[in-house]
Amino acid sequence: MPRRSAALSILTLLLFPISTIAQDAAAHVRSGMLTPAATVNPFHQPVSQALSSAAQSRPKGARPIHPAHSTFAAVSLVPEAVATPFGANTSGELVRNFNGVSSLDSAVTNFGGEFEPPDQGLCVGNGFVVEPVNSAFTIYRRNGSVVAGPFNVNALFAEGLTEFTSDPRCYYDGSSNTWFATILFIAADNRSARTDVAVNTSGDPTTPWTVFHLDATDDGTNGTPSDPGCPCLGDQPLLGIDHENLYISTNEFSILGPEFNGAQIYALSKSDLIHNRPVHFVHFGNLTIGGSIAASVQPAINNGEAPAEYFLNSLDPTGTTDNRIGVWAMTHRAEVSAGGTPTLSSLVLATETYGVPPNAVQKGSTSLLATDDDRMQQVQFIDGDLWGALTSVLTPAKDTTARAEIAWFKVHPHLFGDVIGAADLPAQGYVAAFGNYLFYPAIQASEEGTVAMVMTLSGATFYPSAAYTILSGERDSFGRIKVAAAGTGPYNPRATRWGDYSAAVIDPNGKSFWLATEYIPPMTSQTLDGRRNWGTRVLVRMKLCVAFGATPILLPRSYFAKLPPRKVAWRIPQAHMTDYKKAWQKAAREASVANTRIYDLRSTFASRANSCKASGLTVAHLLGHSSTQILPTYVKPLDENTRVVIEALDSARLLHKRPQGSVN
pLDDT at 43: 75
> Strand pairing partners for 171?
180
pLDDT in tens, 511-528: 899 999 999 999 999 998
Rounded to whole angstroms, how far apart are CA atoms 204 and 328? 34
Burial class (CB in 10 A: 0-12, 13-18, 19+), 400: exposed
25-543 CATH, one of 2.60.40, 2.130.10, 2.30.30, 3.40.50 = 2.130.10
Strand 321-331 versus strand 343-355 pairing type? antiparallel
pLDDT at 593: 62
Residues 568-583, mean pLDDT to the nearest whole number:
54
pLDDT at 74: 55
pLDDT in tens, 237-291: 999 999 999 999 999 999 999 999 999 999 999 999 999 899 999 999 999 999 9
Q: Is the pLDDT of residue 559 over 90?
A: no
- Average pLDDT of the chain? 84
Q: Dihedrals φ, ψ of 187, to 5°?
A: -65, 150
Is residue 172 within 8 A of residue 202, CB to CB? The reply is no
Residue 445's alpha-carbon distances to 123, 314, 504, in angstroms, are 16, 20, 9
Residues 297-321, mean pLDDT to the nearest whole number:
95
pLDDT > 70 fraction of the chain, expressed in percent and rounded: 77
Q: Is the pLDDT of residue 578 over 70?
A: no
pLDDT at 568: 43
Q: Is the pLDDT of residue 622 over 70?
A: yes
Among 261-270, 356-365, 511-520, 642-651, name the one with the lowest average pLDDT.
642-651
Write the DSSP string, 523-548.
GGGS-TTSSS--EEEEEEEES-GGGG
What is the phi-psi region of residue 112: left when phi exceeds 0, alpha when psi lies from -120 to 50, beta otherwise? Answer: left
pLDDT in tens, 60-117: 666 777 654 444 555 557 888 899 999 886 656 899 999 999 999 999 999 999 999 9
Rg of the chain over CA atoms, in angstroms? 26
Q: How confident is the model at residue 543 (pLDDT cuts 50, 70, 90)?
A: low
Rounded to whole angstroms, how far apart are CA atoms 342 and 327? 17
Report which of 650, 655, 627 is spatially closest to residue 638, judged by C-alpha positions.
Answer: 650
Q: Is the pLDDT of residue 354 over 60?
A: yes
Burial class (CB in 10 A: 0-12, 13-18, 19+), 622: middle
Residue 648's alpha-carbon distances to 127, 548, 552, 625, in angstroms, are 9, 13, 16, 31
pLDDT at 325: 98
Q: Is the pLDDT of residue 418 over 50?
A: yes
pLDDT at 69: 46
pLDDT at 448: 82
Q: Boundaries of CATH 2.130.10 in the chain?
A: 25-543
Residues 571-581, mean pLDDT to the nearest whole number:
54
Is residue 535 within 8 A of residue 521, CB to CB? The reply is yes
Strand 80-81 versus strand 379-382 pairing type? unpaired
Strand 379-382 versus strand 298-303 pairing type? parallel
Alpha-carbon torsion 59, 61, 63, 67, what sign?
A: negative
